[in-house]
Amino acid sequence: MWDSSTGEAVTPVLRHAGDVRYTILGQQNRLITLSQPDLMSAWELKGCDLAPDILTDFAKLRSGRYLNTGGVLLALMPAELAELSRSLRERAPPLFEGHHSSQPGR
């Protein structure tokens, strides 16, 4: 999810099997999505104590992309992903607990 006024990510990437067709913010902070092929998902949106810049950087790491100031979604280069992963592991180790893959953010 992105803040439409700033273009900054406000959640990590919410993975879907296909293209998202509809989203609805439901009661009790639940995000409902309908994606191809007719798959409905419910996401519990919970508050957290992480700083907004950490959430933004984690979303960039997970997606491999960032939104530039012109509103264009651009890919991060491998060196940028490696540096972002290193930085996040230092600033927010709990995000990586239980993740033992060699790929950053996976």
Residue 4: per-residue pLDDT:
61
| 48-87 residue pLDDT tens | 778 888 888 888 888 888 888 887 888 999 999 999 999 9
DSSP assignment, residue 76?
P
Q: Are strands 73-75 and 65-67 parallel, antiparallel or unpaired?
A: antiparallel
Query: Both tokens of residue 9?
Result: 């990510």
Q: How confident is the model over 22-49, as pLDDT tens digits?
A: 887 777 778 788 887 778 888 777 777 7
Condensed to tens digits (0 to 9), the pLDDT of residues 4-19 reads 666 666 666 666 677 7
* Positive/negative CA dihedral, 63, 67, 71, 74: negative
Q: Rounded to 5 degrees, what are φ and ψ at 13?
A: -60, 130
Residue 7: per-residue pLDDT: 65
Task: Please give the pLDDT value at position 79.
Answer: 96
